[in-house]
Amino acid sequence: MFVDRIKVFAQAGSGGRGSVSFRREKFVPKGGPDGGDGGRGGDVILVAERHVDNLSNLFYEPIIKAKGGGHGMGKKMAGRSGADKIVKVPVGTIVWEAEEGKRRTSNIEHPTPNEEPENIDNRQLKIENLAIVDLVRDGQEFVLCRGGAGGKGNVHFKSSRNRAPRQYTEGEEGEQGHFLLELRTIADAALVGYPNAGKSTLLRKISAARPKVAPYPFTTLHPIIGVVDFSEYRRGTIADIPGLIEGAHRGLGLGHEFLRHITRCRALLFVLDIAGSEGRNPVEDLQQLRREIDLYDPLLSKRPWFVIANKMDLPNANENLKTLRKRFPKIDIVAVSAAKNEGIDALKQQLETWLQ
Ligand SMILES: Nc1nc2c(ncn2[C@@H]2O[C@H](COP(=O)(O)OP(=O)(O)OP(=O)(O)O)[C@@H](O)[C@H]2O)c(=O)[nH]1
Ligand SMILES: [Mg+2]
């Protein structure tokens, strides 16, 4: 299962209560207060990990809780600290507060995991302003909810006037809240095209990634990243995403939800079935794809873009390629046959310059 958007409830541990205790020992009458402090509650910590590729672990565990601190004890012994709860998330995870103003309150509500949050339109969300954090680096950590401090034991309340204090404090409550976690894949470029254009076949040829390839539309259901090795240890990352069709912005096909995964790409690589083997016209395909991207996010369609004309081994490919070049004279177009492994080395060289 691939989960790239999920609502969770997180709660850090509360601090332990301070202890009320008095020293009792032979030959030490009225030994005085010796109640220790409570331990602090554990934090809920998110860690971005390169090897985690989606948020499915949270689908099974949408309620994340860290342990509370232990209560203080006699003989000035402090309670143990609550263990932190560490949650691994993929690199590229953005965290939003799912219910504004509900963080850090003490009334524990029943979480409603997996419910699609309303009125969060990700295109309008300015990551920089509204997100709590954007975990973009491997190993990056973020304390989502901080554990509460431990309470004070009665040893702190001794004074000249009160030598046998019975006061103590409760531990602080841990922070808690509902959060929306969303994965926006991080890759240098994305392969954008109609279903069956050969995007996955292509990714298999240029990288070690092994996305499924099949002669029916919508084979690819979620993004897959391939690493392309260029010369001299240089490499680039390419995302293979599901096929896009006309009307995707209205929810046709798989819709355009998955396009969030290309919002961080520096370049878009449009993959065309240049032979028009399914009865479509590649020039129109390209225009339509550009239009869908623009409808999704006008800023995205302003990114650098290039064309990979695939299926050059089939009839009509050459003619169509000429027409396409005439129609888009300023755009870099590389012709390949992914299935026949033709033009792949040249494409890799181009990729290196495109992604510089
Ligand atoms: N003749 C020919 N067929 C190709 C070529 N590249 C891919 N195909 C075939 O086209 C079909 C679809 O290929 P995929 O790589 O699954 O296409 P896709 O763009 O990833 O499709 P979706 O994941 O459904 O969007 C498969 O049957 C491939 O074998 C090519 O260069 N020439
Ligand atoms: Mg595919």
| Tokens standing for residue 177 | 């809240």
Mean pLDDT on 196-211: 96
Collapse the DSSP code of 162 into the 3-class scheme (helix H, G, I; strand E, B; otherwise coil) and give the result.
Answer: coil
Q: From the CA of 180, how far away is ligand 2's center (Å)? A: 28
Phi and psi at 251, nearest 5°, equal 100, 5
Which protein residue's CA is at the shortest distance from atom 16 of ligand 1? 213
- 191 versus 120: the higher-pLDDT residue is 191
User: pLDDT tens for residues 265-313?
Assistant: 999 999 999 999 999 999 999 999 999 999 999 999 999 999 999 999 9
Percent pLDDT > 90 in the chain is 81
The pLDDT score that the predictor gives to residue 257 is: 85
Q: Which residues line ligand 1 (CB under 6 A)?
A: 193, 195-201, 213-215, 217-220, 242-243, 310-311, 313-314, 337-339
| Tokens standing for residue 72 | 């203080």
What is the C-alpha separation between 77 and 36, in angstroms, rounded?
5
Scanning the structure block, which residue is given the tokens 């929810």?
Answer: 251
Q: From the CA of 273, how far away is ligand 2's center (Å)? A: 13
Mean pLDDT on 307-330: 97
Q: From the CA of 196, how far away is ligand 1's center (Å)? A: 5
The pLDDT score that the predictor gives to residue 113 is: 34
Residues with CB under 5 A from ligand 2 (ion): 199-200, 219-220
Residue 206 has pLDDT above 80, yes or no: yes
Scanning the structure block, which residue is given the tokens 């949408």?
Answer: 62
Per-residue confidence band for 100, with pLDDT thresholds at 50, 70 and 90: low
Instruction: Pick from 2, 213, 320 the residue to mutate for probing ligand 1's pocket: most ligand atoms within 8 Å of its CB.
Output: 213
CB neighbours of residue 354 within 10 Å: 19
The pLDDT score that the predictor gives to residue 256 is: 85
Provide the 8-state DSSP code for 56: H
Q: Is the dihedral of CA 254, 260, 261, 263 positive or negative?
A: positive
Q: Which long-range contacts (CB under 8 A, 24 or more apart) does 30-33 make?
A: 30/163, 30/164, 32/158, 32/163, 32/164, 33/153, 33/154, 33/155, 33/157, 33/158, 33/164, 33/165
Atom of ligand 1 nearest to the CA of 240: 20
- 78 versus 121: the higher-pLDDT residue is 78
User: pLDDT tens for residues 69-85?
Assistant: 999 999 999 999 999 99
Q: Tell me the longest C-alpha to C-alpha distance in the chain.
A: 105
- Edge to edge, what strands does the sheet with 93-97 contain? 63-65, 5-11, 176-183, 93-97, 133-135
Indicate the pTM of the whole model. Answer: 0.83
The pLDDT score that the predictor gives to residue 27 is: 85
The pLDDT score that the predictor gives to residue 104 is: 42
Beta bridge pairs of residue 133: 95
Three-state SS for 173-191 is CCCEEEEEEEECCCCCEEE
Phi and psi at 306, nearest 5°, equal -140, 165
Mean pLDDT on 39-58: 96
Atom of ligand 1 nearest to the CA of 194: 25
Q: Are 306 and 330 in contact (CB under 8 A)?
A: no
How confident is the prediction for the chain on average, in pLDDT? 90
Q: From the CA of 274, how far away is ligand 1's center (Å)? A: 12
Q: Identify the helix (H) or strand (E) that includes residue 16.
A: none
Residue 184 has pLDDT above 50, yes or no: yes
Residue 154 has pLDDT above 90, yes or no: yes
Q: Are 285 and 192 in contact (CB under 8 A)?
A: no
The pLDDT score that the predictor gives to residue 329 is: 96
The pLDDT score that the predictor gives to residue 316 is: 95
Residue 111 has pLDDT above 70, yes or no: no
Q: Between 344-354 and 199-206, two packed helices, what is the crossing angle to 10 degrees?
A: 90
**Across 86-90, 110-114, 322-326, least confident range:** 110-114
Instruction: Pick from 2, 191, 192, 196 the residue to mutate for probing ligand 1's pocket: most ligand atoms within 8 Å of its CB.
Output: 196
Which protein residue's CA is at the shortest distance from atom 8 of ligand 1? 198
Return the closest-CA partner of residue 178 out of 122, 247, 103.
Answer: 103
Phi and psi at 182, nearest 5°, equal -135, 135
